[in-house]
Amino acid sequence: MLNVHRDNIANLAKLMVALALLIGIAVVAAQDLAPNMSLDKLFAYFFIGLAALAVNLVGLSVIYLNVYQWALRKGGTDTAWFWFNSEPKGLMAMREKFGKD
């Protein structure tokens, strides 16, 4: 049990180091693109951009999941079949077979 806890702490430490390195790379690249901008303003724009991206991703996830749930409630077979123009082969026969029982 104690060993699992150490592994979790080690993985969390690795994640934090990786995030710090990625943020450092982004800041260095941003300073090269905007050399006259102060670091606090650069960090502010960076985190505002990350927040906007997160809000968009969460919003799109909610919209897609609601559409998928609606399709399934209305009798859709599978939401992946939105990409195809017909039902899978043999599905109609299977529906009729199970509908009669």
The full 3-state SS of 3-59, as one line of letters, equals HHHHHHHHHHHHHHHHHHHHHHHHHHHHHHHCCCCCHHHHHHHHHHHHHHHHHHHHH
* Residue scoring higher pLDDT (72 or 84): 72
- State yes or no: pLDDT of 80 exceeds 60: yes
The answer to whether residues 101 and 54 belong to one domain is yes
Claim to verify: residue 4 and residue 27 sit in the same structural domain: yes
Residue 32 and residue 44 in one domain: no
Mean pLDDT computed over every residue of the chain: 84
Is a pLDDT exceeding 90 seen at residue 54? Answer: yes
- Same domain? For 64 and 51 the reply is yes
Query: Are 50 and 96 in a shared domain?
Result: yes
Kindly state the greatest CA–CA separation across the chain.
75
Between 84 and 11, where is the model more confident?
11
pLDDT in tens, 60-79: 999 999 998 998 888 777 77
**Is residue 39 very low, low, confident or very high in pLDDT (cuts 50, 70, 90)?**
confident
What is the spatial distance between Cα 43 and Cα 35, in angstroms, rounded to a whole number? 13
